[in-house]
Amino acid sequence: MELRQLTYAMAVADAGSFTAAARRCHLSQSALSTQIAQLEGELGVRLFERTTRRVVLTEAGQLFLPTACRIVELADELRAQMSAHAAGALRTLRVGSTQTATRVLDLPALLGDMRRRHAGVRITMTAGPSSELIAAVADGSLDIALTGAVPPPPDPRLVFHPLSPPEPLVAIAPPATSTTVAGSATLAELAGSGPFIEFHTGSQLRTMVDALFRDAGLHREIIFELGQITDVARCAAQGLGTAVVPRAFTAGLDLVDAVVLEIEDRPALTVGAYTRRADRAPMIGAVLGLFGNRDLQ
C-alpha cells in the first residue's frame, strides 16, 4: 500500500468520478483506475461502486476513508515538522495571490506589516490564476494561496480561511443603461446594455460572471478579453463596454462615460487563503492572524 494510493482514493471519493479525480491528480483516467484497483486488491475489498452516473463508496470504502484521511494528514504533518526542524523554523514564506486577492486584501500593506513584525522572514510572492496557485499549495510549492473560495473544495488536503467580508461584484456600464432601481441593475438589463469587456477565459472571475449570465439564460456579446482586471475596469470606465468586476477595482476609477451599478441579488466573492490542512508552520499562522481583528460577517 502506497501513500499516493490513499491520496488517489480520497480524490475519487471527494470528486465522485474517476474522470474528475484523474484531472485533480494530474493522471490519466486509466492510470488512476489501475492504482485504485491495486489498492483494492491489496486490501481485499472493493472501495468504490461504479455506477453509470457516479462513483460511490462501498460499505468497506466508508470504513476505509476516515482512516486513510488521517494517515495522509499525519504524513503531511510529519513532512512539515521535519522541514521546520531542518530549517530551524519556516524562514521563507512562499505566497501566491490572484489579482482580486491582491486588491481586496491590500496585499502590499499586509506584506509590509508582516515584514515589520517578522523581520527575519524572507517573503516570496507569485501572481497567477487561482487554479494554479491552489495546486501549488497542494503540491508544496507554495505555503499560502490568496484567492477566492472555489466550490467545491479543490483538494481534501487543503483548508480555506476566509480573510475578508464577501466582496460584491458590481457592473461598470454605460450611463444610458436602463435600470428599474436607481444605482442597481438586473442581469437582463446589463445583458441588454451593449457589448462586454471581460477578464480572460479560465480565470475565477470570468468563470463566475459566465455562470451568472448562463444560469439566468442570458447571452452577452464579448468584444474585449483582457489579462488584467484593472484594464477591464478602465476600459469600461471609458464607455467601451460593460464589465462586471469586484467592487474594489472601482475605487478611484475615473468614470469618463460610465456608471457603477450594484447587481440584483448581489453576487459576491469570498476572498481568503488556502493552506495545507496539516501545515502548522508559525509564519502561516502569523499571516492569518493579521486578519484576526477583521469583521468577517
List pLDDT tens digits, range 209-252: 999 999 999 999 999 999 999 999 999 999 999 999 999 999 99
Q: What integer pLDDT is reported at residue 51 of this predicted model?
A: 77
CA distances from 226 to 111, 201, 234 (A): 27, 9, 11
22-26, 96-100, 225-229, 271-275: which range is least confident on average? 22-26
Task: Find the farthest-apart pair of alpha carbons in the chain and give their distance in angstroms, rounded.
Answer: 69
Position 154 pLDDT exceeds 90? no
Q: Which domains are present in the chain?
A: 3-87 (1.10.10.10), 92-164+270-293 (3.40.190.10), 168-267 (3.40.190.10)
Assign 85 a pLDDT band (cuts: 50, 70, 90).
low
> Is 77 or 275 the better-scoring residue by pLDDT?
275
Supply the mean pLDDT for the chain.
88
Most confidently predicted of 3-17, 108-122, 136-150, 225-239 = 225-239
Handedness of CA 24, 28, 34, 35 (dihedral sign): negative
82-86, 116-120, 194-198, 281-285: which range is least confident on average? 82-86
Question: Distance (Å, rounded) from C-alpha 224 to C-alpha 220?
Answer: 12
Position 81 pLDDT exceeds 80? no
DSSP three-state, residue 97: strand
Assign 84 a pLDDT band (cuts: 50, 70, 90).
low
Is there a contact between 58 and 94 (Cβ–Cβ < 8 Å)?
Answer: no
Assign 296 a pLDDT band (cuts: 50, 70, 90).
very low
Phi-psi region of 44 (alpha: psi -120 to 50; beta: other; left: phi over 0): left
32-36, 90-94, 133-137, 157-161: which range is least confident on average? 90-94
Is there a contact between 242 and 197 (Cβ–Cβ < 8 Å)?
Answer: yes
Mean pLDDT of 167-189: 88
Q: What integer pLDDT is reported at residue 202 of this predicted model?
A: 87
How are the residues of the chain apportioned to helix, strand and coil, as percentages rounded to the nearest 5? 45, 20, 35
Position 131 pLDDT exceeds 50? yes
Position 129 pLDDT exceeds 60? yes
The stretches of the chain forming alpha helices (DSSP H) are 3-15, 18-25, 29-43, 59-87, 99-104, 107-117, 130-138, 187-191, 204-215, 229-237, 282-289
> Grid coordinates representing 203?
480565470
Question: Distance (Å, rounded) from C-alpha 274 to C-alpha 145?
Answer: 5
